[in-house]
Amino acid sequence: MTKNKFTIALAGNANVGKSVIFNQLTGLHQHIGNWPGKTIEKAEGTLHFKGYTIDIIDLPGIYSLSTFSIEELISREYIAVERPDLVINIVDASVLERNLFFSLQLLELETPMIVALNQMDMAKKKGIIFDHEKLQKLLGIPVIPTVAISGIGIYDLLEKSVEVIEGREKIKPVKAKYGKEIEERIEKIVRMVEKTQFRYPARWVAIKLLEGDEEVEKEILKINPKIVSAAEKLAIEIEEIHGHSCSTVITSERYEVASKIAKETQEITPQIKPPMRERIHILTTNRILGYPIMAISLLSIFYSIFTFGDYTSGLLGDSLFGLKPIFEGIFGIGVVGKLVWGGVMEGIIGGVTVALPYIIPFYFILYFLEDSGYLSRIAFLMDNLMHKIGLHGKAFIPVMLGFGCNVPGCLGCRIMETTRERLLAAFVVTLVPCAATTAIILGLVGAFVGVQWALALYFINLLIIFILGRIAFKTLPGEPTALIMEMSDYRVPHMKTVLKQTWFRLWEFIKMAFPLIIVGSLVIKLADVMNLLKPIADILSPVTVTWLGLPSITGIALVFGVLRKELTLIMLATLLEVEPMNLAQVMTPMHMIVFTLVAMLYIPCIATIAALVKEFGWKKAWLITVFEIGFAILVGGIAFRLLMLAY
């Protein structure tokens, strides 16, 4: 082979240390993007080894290759269509059976593959001893024992990969054999499929047709509908033999093969004393103690993030605003100067003071909790509550992050499995009052109207989340949500991986959001310079004055608020030409309540819109934005009329 550029894909279950291996292999040469046309993260990296340039693709962590989630679809399409030169299947040695179930499916895709038997240290602690030579023989492919977090076995893994790709090491992968009655029928379908030149291996297609895989059925229907109906008939025959649906029978038999291999290659000595990680698990999921432990951990996380964020944000803001004279010196204080400073620079400052002090720690915490395993315990405890708003336990984390800042909340929705769940969770997140919104509620209504009114608004917000969440849950098409999740053993997160994950995702976000923030800020500054603010306020007055009963100029504050929500109050005061503490002179309590209600419910800020665009594309982002603005105005108007009646 003369080629010196290869592609290797990493595949495996979630929580097997796949991202650690990815980081060990690629170091800082990473690129995080999205799969074409999909909103699933795609991590790529390059490395150089023995004169070769090797591209590493980190496939999503999944348990099967069916059509349950987009991740599973993407993975199988990638392996079958893009045909990487090699797949490294990362297997958690401490949960061998479940992992081998996935390995067998990968092998059915007839792709060149080797296995990294990872977390050997964990397996050893659990009293598991391996015969990895035998595993190698039974699977017909090389198996390399690794401990990714300490870098053990990574070099061997690469070396073996190159040997297999170069063809120096021949592999003879096994095929999982099903029962005779199934094999006969697979054979019949294979003969039909072979003639179609379909891009997937014929045996794989045959198995998937018997399992009733919708995607494969759809594709084969286009080529030859006879195959699908023949497969359906054969599947019914199998169902009649076994008394279970055909897909159940095939899945069971595949698991039997995995179970047999696992039993033959590992020896487990049960442990007498429950280890530390087990005791922590019992404590953190305890019926009574679990909740206070969770509350304390989350509150202290929030508290430290806000203390840190507030301090750093202020520091960054002060020092960046200190640059103003320098800019004025260069660009003058004319129109150009105003646009450069007030448009571009203030936009950047706005982005920096939100992104760095808040988004970094939030991201870090998210990955830390996920890697350590605590995230799944929180999901376990909160599942029931989240079901009330049509979501399940896993959604608690993004929603909780949303109370701090909606941006990491929206980005955190990717821990949900299906697109539907992601969209639902993100929608709920954008309705959650973030720290800046809370500042408006407390600073305006809380300070001037009364704390009980501020609390009432907060309560109304939560009620609206509950109602809209349920409506969205009922109206969005797709299967209902349920929690089915592995709670893998607690472990100490690999810090370097967590930091890299944080960094590369932050960078992705900056690339996406900053242009939007700067353009938005420039447009508004331009309107200001051209004396368009008053006319704009007049144009908005049917909404602001007639429908919402607010002073006309507040429309501008609401528009500005999309850019810098935390500045809404200061802006309001400036526009009304009073000191912030004297707002009560120009706004009635009713004005304040209606204004706050609208500011609370409409789309949080431009950075959140950017996050939505990044995760769901322009169309859905606009849909949510337009809906929430409309809804906020509707609710504001109704509140105005109700308050009028009451007074």
Please report how close the Cβ of residue 92 comes to another protein at its closest, in angstroms.
9
Which residue, 64 or 588, is less far from another protein as judged by CB?
Answer: 64
- Per DSSP, 488 falls in state P
Q: Return the residue of 172, 222, 273, 287 that touches another protein, per CB under 8 A.
A: 287
Q: Applying CB under 8 A, what is the total number of residues that bind another protein?
A: 49
Which residue, 246 or 550, is less far from another protein as judged by CB?
Answer: 246
Please report how close the Cβ of residue 65 comes to another protein at its closest, in angstroms.
9
Q: Is 384 in the site for another protein (CB under 8 A)?
A: yes
Site for another protein in 59-98 (CB under 8 A): 63-64, 66-68, 95-98
Structure tokens at 592: 């304040």
Q: Return the residue of 197, 222, 270, 479 that touches another protein, per CB under 8 A.
A: 479
Binding flags for another protein, 391-410, as an x/- string (CB under 8 A): -xx-----------------
Nearest residue to 62 (alpha-carbon basis) of 12, 110, 23: 12
Which residue, 61 or 551, is less far from another protein as judged by CB?
Answer: 61
Q: Is 376 in the site for another protein (CB under 8 A)?
A: yes
Q: Return the residue of 221, 315, 333, 482 that touches another protein, per CB under 8 A.
A: 482
Nearest residue to 538 (alpha-carbon basis) of 554, 521, 522, 562: 554
Beta bridge partners of residue 52, listed in sequence order: 49
Q: Is 381 in the site for another protein (CB under 8 A)?
A: yes
Q: Is 473 in the site for another protein (CB under 8 A)?
A: no
Whole-number Cα distances in Å, 408 to 95, 103, 197, 251, 427: 32, 34, 45, 37, 13
Whole-number Cα distances in Å, 374 to 265, 281, 387: 31, 9, 20
Q: Return the residue of 20, 74, 189, 235 that touches another protein, per CB under 8 A.
A: 235
Which residue, 64 or 574, is less far from another protein as judged by CB?
Answer: 64
Q: Is 484 in the site for another protein (CB under 8 A)?
A: yes
Q: Return the residue of 11, 379, 389, 548 that touches another protein, per CB under 8 A.
A: 379
Three-state DSSP state, 24 = helix
Which residue, 240 or 577, is less far from another protein as judged by CB?
Answer: 240
Give 381's contacts (C-beta < 8 A, 6+ positions apart).
285, 290, 291, 294, 393
Q: Is 130 in the site for another protein (CB under 8 A)?
A: no
Which residue, 26 or 105, is less far from another protein as judged by CB?
Answer: 105
Please report how close the Cβ of residue 93 comes to another protein at its closest, in angstroms.
11
Which residue, 224 or 251, is less far from another protein as judged by CB?
Answer: 251
Binding flags for another protein, 197-216, as an x/- string (CB under 8 A): ---------------x-x--
Please report how close the Cβ of residue 97 comes to another protein at its closest, in angstroms.
5
Query: Looking at 230-238, 450-458, 512-520, 618-626, which segment touches another protein (CB under 8 A)?
Result: 230-238
Please report how close the Cβ of residue 244 comes to another protein at its closest, in angstroms.
6
Query: Looking at 38-46, 139-147, 429-437, 480-488, which segment touches another protein (CB under 8 A)?
Result: 480-488
For residues 147 and 531, give the distance between their C-alpha atoms in angstroms, rounded to a whole number: 64
CA atoms within 13 A on the CB side of 236: 5
Structure tokens at 311: 């301090």
Which residue, 85 or 217, is less far from another protein as judged by CB?
Answer: 217
Site for another protein in 238-267 (CB under 8 A): 239, 244-248, 251-252, 255, 259
Give 474's contacts (C-beta < 8 A, 6+ positions apart).
390
Q: Is 521 in the site for another protein (CB under 8 A)?
A: no
Q: Is 488 in the site for another protein (CB under 8 A)?
A: yes
Q: Is 101 in the site for another protein (CB under 8 A)?
A: yes
Three-state DSSP state, 580 = helix
Please report how close the Cβ of residue 135 comes to another protein at its closest, in angstroms.
16
Tokens 């290659």 belong to which residue?
265
Please report how close the Cβ of residue 149 comes to another protein at its closest, in angstroms.
20
Whole-number Cα distances in Å, 351 to 158, 326, 359, 407, 635: 41, 20, 10, 12, 30
Phi/psi-derived region of residue 15, left when phi > 0, alpha when psi is between -120 and 50, beta in every other case = left
Which residue, 14 or 603, is less far from another protein as judged by CB?
Answer: 14
The phi, psi pair for 51, rounded to 5°, reads 80, 0
Structure tokens at 287: 């019926």
Q: Return the residue of 50, 155, 221, 236 that touches another protein, per CB under 8 A.
A: 236
Give start and end residues of each alpha helix (H) in 339-405: 346-354, 360-372, 374-387, 396-404
**Are β-strands 113-118 and 143-145 bridged in parallel, bridged antiparallel, or unpaired?**
parallel
Which residue, 384 or 582, is less far from another protein as judged by CB?
Answer: 384
Three-state DSSP state, 229 = helix
Whole-number Cα distances in Å, 478 to 38, 69, 618: 17, 12, 21
For residues 561 and 599, give the distance between their C-alpha atoms in angstroms, rounded to a whole number: 8
Binding flags for another protein, 264-283, as an x/- string (CB under 8 A): -----------------x--
Please report how close the Cβ of residue 146 comes to another protein at its closest, in angstroms.
20
Nearest residue to 12 (alpha-carbon basis) of 148, 214, 172: 148
Site for another protein in 427-446 (CB under 8 A): none
Question: 399 with 428: CB under 8 angstroms?
Answer: yes
DSSP letter for each residue of 249-298? HHHHHHHHHHHHHHHHHEEE---SSPPHHHHHHHHHT-TTTHHHHHHHHH
Binding flags for another protein, 26-65, as an x/- string (CB under 8 A): -------------------------------------xx-
Residue numbers at the binding site for another protein (CB under 8 A): 63-64, 66-68, 95-98, 101, 212, 214, 232, 235-236, 239, 244-248, 251-252, 255, 259, 281, 285, 287-288, 290, 376, 379-381, 383-385, 387, 392-393, 479-480, 482-488
